[in-house]
Structure 1
Amino acid sequence: MTDRLRPARSEDAACLAALASLVWLDTYASAGIRPALARYVQASFTPQVFLDKLADPQQHILLLERDGHLLAYALLQEAAACPGEPAWQAELATLYVMPRFAGQGLGRCLLSASLQLAGQLGYHGLWLSVFHGNQRALGFYRHLGLQQGADCFFELEGERHLNHVFLLADTGEGNHVAPQ
């Protein structure tokens, strides 16, 4: 089995859409699927949405595949001001790992690669937000020592959902994310 980290290409759009739908529903539809969740997934995670992201020069998608199968991806968004920390402009908008492959270091690899990419693009680090109820992600980022910043909200059809903001500075030391 060979894992490969690489930039996403247009031919990855369908797989990215499927993976995003799977991870998003696994994370946020903990009580089941209701209309607002279904509408969000059907509008937000289509191959065309990913083709648009890939065509946008300020969005960068890195993916991890194993033997040609997509396992995880990260989306780095440039020029995205961090709530409470407007000098932070590189957002790790998404870091999704298929649930069955969690705990294998894929998220850590993508986080490190995203931080390295942010540095190459001229940013001093990156920021991200995590739903306050996503204990797995919160534990992951806290375990890695990310600094918690201000809170923000994700809005879905008039509902506000609390998210915690985390900051990860590029130390310039090569090993951007501490080993386990």
Structure 2
Amino acid sequence: RNAHNAFSPQAFAHLLGKPEALIIVAESLGHLIGFAQVTLCVDHPMLGVSTAAELQRLYVQERFTGCGAGRLLLEAAEQRATARKAALMWATVWVGNPRALGFYPRQGYEVKGSPRYEFQGETHENRLFAKLLGGSNLTRNSV
């Protein structure tokens, strides 16, 4: 039910109307194969960077994983966030997702913490990944 609401046409229409939201799609032969969702100007308490952008979702259909679609979506998200003055991109990844845990370091992201997420009364451990974006005035030590 939660996923159905989050991915409904109405939810995407609402997101597309927000100036701080970025949606990037990947397609193959006219069919959606993945997308990235970024929210600008979202800090994380473990980072303390007001010009950060949160990568909220990066999804690629299973049969298209391993062919570079995720990397291209992430690069496009970083470029668009940089163009909108984001100094850093961050994402939280569930520790039970080994593919994502391996993906982000290969794209230059570093683990910055282990936040926990509460969902329906259960606690889930995550990893906080962050990467300085091109042209950032931040130093590596400040993040």
Q: TM-score range by the shorter chain?
A: 0.7 to 0.9
Distance 1:75 1:105 in 2: 17
Tell me the matched-pair count. Answer: 134
| Partner of residue 22, structure 2 | 60
1:22-171 pair list within 5 angstroms? 39-87=1-49, 89-171=52-134
Distance 1:99 1:83 in 2: 32
Cα deviation, residue 126, structure 1: 0.5
Cα deviation, residue 163, structure 1: 1.1
Unaligned runs of 5+ in 2: 136-143
| Partner of residue 3, structure 1 | none
RMSD: 1.4
Q: Using structure 2 for the length normalisation, give the TM-score.
A: 0.87
Q: Using structure 1 for the length normalisation, give the TM-score.
A: 0.70
Distance 1:156 1:67 in 2: 37
- The secondary structure found in structure 2 opposite 1:90 is strand
Identity of aligned residues (%): 37
Cα deviation, residue 123, structure 1: 1.2
Distance 1:101 1:83 in 2: 34
- The secondary structure found in structure 2 opposite 1:79 is coil
- The secondary structure found in structure 1 opposite 2:108 is coil
Cα deviation, residue 82, structure 1: 1.7
The worse-fitting range, judged by mean Cα deviation, of 50-59 and 154-163 is 154-163
Distance 1:50 1:84 in 2: 28
Identify, as 1 or 2, the structure richer in helix.
1
Distance 2:22 2:6 in 1: 17
